[in-house]
Amino acid sequence: MSLPASPPAGPAPGPVTAAPPLPSEVPQRPPDTSPAPSPAPQKLPRSSRTGRVWVAVCAAALLAVALIVFMLQNTHTVEVNFLGMTGSTSLALMLLIAAVGAVLLTLIVGSVRIVQLRRAVRRQQR
């Protein structure tokens, strides 16, 4: 029994290719002197009334959730004295009443100031 002949050692037979060209033989292209294209400016989306209302509604919802959690955690009874009157109620309710009073006072003062400014503008326009 004879073994098959092994291929001869050395380069594999096949087409002979030329060596790659030397860097000095590669044709040179003149450098590109045109300015690089600038990226298109990114425009931010414009703010809209609907978007601002949506942000305000989300903020109000988060504030309402925080207020509910606060009221549920502060249910113990406290004694309140105000201008000679005495009463007892939950701490959360008293703080809520104080916060609503502060908001109402701010709205009243702000509204009066807006009316003053509008009157001043009308007088200047005459």
pLDDT tens for 64-74 read 898 888 888 88
Whole-model pTM above 0.75?
no
Q: What is the pLDDT of residue 51?
A: 85
Q: What is the pLDDT of residue 89?
A: 86
Q: Which of 45, 99, 35, 34 is nearest to 67 (CA)?
A: 99
Assess if residue 85 is contained within a domain: yes
Contact criterion met (CB below 8 Å) for 100 and 92:
no
Q: Which of 60, 96, 47 is nearest to 75 (CA)?
A: 96
Q: Which residues of the chain have pLDDT under 70?
A: 1-27, 30-32, 34-40
Assess if residue 7 is contained within a domain: no
Residue-range definition of the domain harbouring residue 75 = 49-125
Q: Which of 100, 48, 94, 99 is nearest to 75 (CA)?
A: 94
Contact criterion met (CB below 8 Å) for 94 and 80:
yes
Assess if residue 101 is contained within a domain: yes
Assess if residue 60 is contained within a domain: yes
Q: Give how many domains the chain has, as a whole number.
A: 1
Q: What is the pLDDT of residue 43?
A: 76
Q: Which helix (H) or strand (E) holds 88?
A: strand 85-90
* Residue in the structure block whose two tokens are 């955690």: 73
Assess if residue 12 is contained within a domain: no
Assess if residue 69 is contained within a domain: yes
Assess if residue 74 is contained within a domain: yes
Q: Write down how long the chain is.
A: 126
Assess if residue 21 is contained within a domain: no
